[in-house]
């Protein structure tokens, strides 16, 4: 998360050197947002074997975030559009958004529903390779 600028602090001290609060702010801007890990909770994801699921989101502004969810199947996983969803996105969606499931050289489109704050990935069937859901959310902190 990029820090807010420390506008209450002067930019420099009495010797003309930058104050540490401003140095830290500028470092955070140049380095970008490293993201925050979260464990996505899939509902109605069909699995064979125990999958490994992880996620990370990046707050780009107070209204826009991007995220990824990685699903490494035990044997395989399947999703049904409109039925399978992630119900614990940590930010509050303000408008509907879009997500994509990418695996094995293909990609399909899903959505983020603001009314329920759910991520609905697209349909995939018996995927045996790692799959990534990537999304753009119009969302801010809860």
Tell me the CATH number at 116.
2.60.40
- The reported pLDDT for the residue numbered 135 is 95
Give which of 86, 48, 84, 55 is closest to 69, Cα–Cα.
55
Q: Is 87 found in the same domain as 43?
A: yes
Number of domains the chain contains: 2
- The reported pLDDT for the residue numbered 24 is 81
User: Over the stretch 113-141, which tens digit does the pLDDT of each residue have?
Assistant: 999 999 999 999 999 999 999 999 998 76
**Both structure tokens of 12:** 């420099």
**Average pLDDT, stretch 48-55?**
96
Cα(56)–Cα(140) distance, integer angstroms: 15
Q: Is 61 found in the same domain as 4?
A: no
Cα(17)–Cα(111) distance, integer angstroms: 48
**Both structure tokens of 86:** 């992630």
Please provide the average confidence, as pLDDT, over all residues in the chain.
90
3 pLDDT above the threshold of 80: no
Using CA atoms of 30, 100, 127, 119 in order, give the dihedral in degrees to the nearest 10: 100
Q: Is 3 found in the same domain as 64?
A: no
- The reported pLDDT for the residue numbered 8 is 87
**Average pLDDT, stretch 56-76?**
92
Q: Is 90 found in the same domain as 127?
A: yes
Q: Is 78 found in the same domain as 64?
A: yes
**Both structure tokens of 94:** 């303000």
Expressed as residue numbers, the domain containing 69 is 36-141
CB 61 within 8 A of CB 29: no
Q: Is 64 found in the same domain as 18?
A: no
Alpha carbon distance, N-terminus to C-terminus of the chain: 14
Q: Is 51 found in the same domain as 23?
A: no
């Amino acid at each position: 998360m990029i820090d807010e600028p420390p506008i209450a602090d002067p930019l420099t001290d009495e010797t003309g050197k930058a104050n540490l609060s401003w140095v830290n702010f500028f470092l955070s801007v140049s380095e970008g947002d490293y993201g925050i890990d979260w464990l996505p909770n899939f509902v109605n994801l069909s699995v064979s074997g125990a999958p490994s699921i992880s996620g990370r989101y990046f707050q780009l502004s107070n209204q826009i975030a991007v995220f990824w969810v990685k699903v490494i199947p035990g044997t395989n996983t399947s999703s049904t559009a409109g039925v399978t969803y992630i119900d614990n996105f940590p930010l509050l969606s303000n408008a509907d958004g879009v997500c994509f499931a990418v695996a094995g050289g293909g990609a399909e489109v899903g959505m983020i529903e603001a009314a329920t704050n759910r991520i609905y990935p697209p349909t995939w069937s018996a995927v045996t390779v790692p799959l990534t859901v990537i999304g753009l959310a119009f969302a801010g902190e809860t």
